[in-house]
Amino acid sequence: MGLADITTSLHITGLGAFSTGNLSFSEKMPQGWSLVQAILPTTTTRVPFTSEALKEVIPILLILYSLAVLVQLPNTKTARLSLLPIIVSLSYRVITKYDTAAPFDDPGYTYHNLAFGCFTIFLCLRAIDFGTADKPWQRTIWSWRPKAAPDDFVTRLKYAMLDAFDLTMNNRGIGWSWGKGIYDPPQSAKHSAPRTALASFPFFISFVKAMVLFDFTLLAQQSWTLHPSAYPTHPIGGTIFDPTLPPHLRIGKVILMTFLCALGLCTSFQMSYYGLAFAMIALGGQQPEQWPPMFDEPWRATSLADFWGKRWHQMFKRAFVVAGGKPFGRYFGRPGGVIGSFLVSGLMHDFGVWGLGLGMDLSGVTLFFVMMGIGCVLEGIWEQKALKGKKVQGPLGWVWAMIWMFAWGSLIVDAWARRGLIESKMLPDGARPAVWWAQVTQKWLASHA
């Protein structure tokens, strides 16, 4: 029995979404075609990603590494700034030139293009952070450089080259001077024990748990019917907005699909994170303390600021603040800085969506993140004017945050669904624990019918 048979037998009917007439709320919104979309060519001109493409990808990684070395050394800002146009232009070229899903010849693998696009854009944002830093960065913990090492240029360069490997992967600044303002969730005892031969084992267990939960979440998503969309849609995609269903079922489907998508993101990120942590501790000599939890129970968030500032993962926070928050904040104050950070986040995710083959979705993807910024600003105004400086919190704060995120979150989930992301083959069919469980359950039910 294949995956298609399982999802058909587990098929859930009913539950739809907000709808007006024949089109959903998200589909009636203007698509927002603009200069942002015009700078990207059509995806039909891309060529398959092969080993030859590495000749263009490796220079990007080498430039990023070079910037990570230089940012630790004094009087290098001019050199760093000169490298930024090069890495940005090379990144644009590889994103728009190569189709990383083409070698699989299966529409279920188009999500590789989304991941490749987001990852490459994020490298550019980190390069901007490295390139524009005013003062040399210092590794305050776990540095390769001994305290008694001489302070000559050759010695500093030597240890900067060693510490740069950590810097290129360390998105939260753990153990670095620039990471003090980024929140790291507290570690459990099993994940913070001194490094020994078995110190990596809890991370492996967490990796397996996250993988299993992610696959069950993915199977649950794939068990729903996606309604045909009036807008361009991937062959295996469809909209979560179903105007053929009664209103209460329409809303229910949106809520559940949005929740499953958020849970899928959370578990897939943790699966990758714990897998990398296991490898770096077991083989890379790193300490468990260098890998604090990625999330801090986001479902407990009692405000938008609490959710985005602490409980959701903070991997991209600094890059978004540097590239969007600081420039916008300089001209529009703190509200502009908040919205600017979320705007850059939205554009990065939208560039990834472009890679799926149907263009960007500014009215779904970017709009979601911009509205998160606007929500945080409104929340801050409410705290100042109505709460007299107190924070939004408690049960009412939780209700407010969830309503705002789910309402706007349905737009980005719909954009992904129409592009086939929900039907992606993110794990091989033969290695999916949820599929195996479904097959065993169906056989048992059939034998006891």
**In which band, very low, low, confident or very high, does the pLDDT at 394 lie, cut at 50, 70 and 90?**
very high
Across 372-390, average pLDDT: 96
Q: pLDDT for 270-286, tens place per residue?
A: 999 999 999 999 998 89
Q: Taking the model in full, what pTM does it have?
A: 0.90
DSSP 8-state secondary structure symbol assigned to residue 358: I
Candidates 286, 438, 378, 415; CA nearest to 25 is: 415
Distance CA 366, CA 352 (A): 11
pLDDT of residue 42: 87
- Pairing between β-strand 19-20 and β-strand 23-24 as defined by DSSP bridges: antiparallel
Higher pLDDT, 358 or 7: 358
Which span out of 72-76, 187-191, 233-237 was modeled with the highest average pLDDT?
A: 72-76
Candidates 352, 413, 411; CA nearest to 112 is: 352
Identify whether 167 is part of a domain.
yes
Phi, psi of 20 (to 5 degrees): -135, 105
Identify whether 292 is part of a domain.
no
Across 25-54, average pLDDT: 72
pLDDT of residue 11: 44
Phi, psi of 375 (to 5 degrees): -60, -40
Identify whether 414 is part of a domain.
no
- Work out the end-to-end distance of the chain between its first and last CA atoms, rounded to an integer number of angstroms: 18
The total domain count for the chain is 1
Q: Residue 405 contacts by C-beta under 8 Å, 6 or more apart in sequence?
A: 304, 307, 372
pLDDT of residue 195: 63
pLDDT of residue 23: 40
**In which band, very low, low, confident or very high, does the pLDDT at 96 lie, cut at 50, 70 and 90?**
very high
Identify whether 216 is part of a domain.
no
Q: Kindly report the CA angle at 184 between 179 and 188, in degrees rounded to 5?
A: 140
Residue 4 has pLDDT above 50, yes or no: no
pLDDT of residue 242: 92
Candidates 264, 265, 367, 383; CA nearest to 316 is: 265
Distance CA 235, CA 228 (A): 10
pLDDT of residue 193: 62
- Can you give the residue range of the structural domain that contains 165? 43-180
Q: Which residues pair with 354 in a beta bridge?
A: none
CA-based torsion, 273, 105, 4, 359: positive or negative: positive
Q: pLDDT for 142-177, tens place per residue?
A: 999 999 999 999 999 999 999 999 999 999 999 999
Identify whether 47 is part of a domain.
yes
Identify whether 258 is part of a domain.
no
Give the mean pLDDT of the chain.
90
**In which band, very low, low, confident or very high, does the pLDDT at 86 lie, cut at 50, 70 and 90?**
very high
Q: pLDDT for 286-323, tens place per residue?
A: 999 999 999 999 999 999 999 999 999 999 999 999 99
Candidates 417, 296, 438, 427; CA nearest to 358 is: 417
**In which band, very low, low, confident or very high, does the pLDDT at 26 lie, cut at 50, 70 and 90?**
very low
**In which band, very low, low, confident or very high, does the pLDDT at 21 lie, cut at 50, 70 and 90?**
very low
Identify whether 390 is part of a domain.
no
Placement of tokens 């009664």 in the chain? 246
Inter-CA distances, 160 with 58, 71, 153, Å: 20, 9, 10
Candidates 193, 139, 200, 144; CA nearest to 170 is: 139
CB 152 within 8 A of CB 118: no
Identify whether 93 is part of a domain.
yes
Placement of tokens 């992606």 in the chain? 424
CA-based torsion, 264, 267, 271, 277: positive or negative: positive
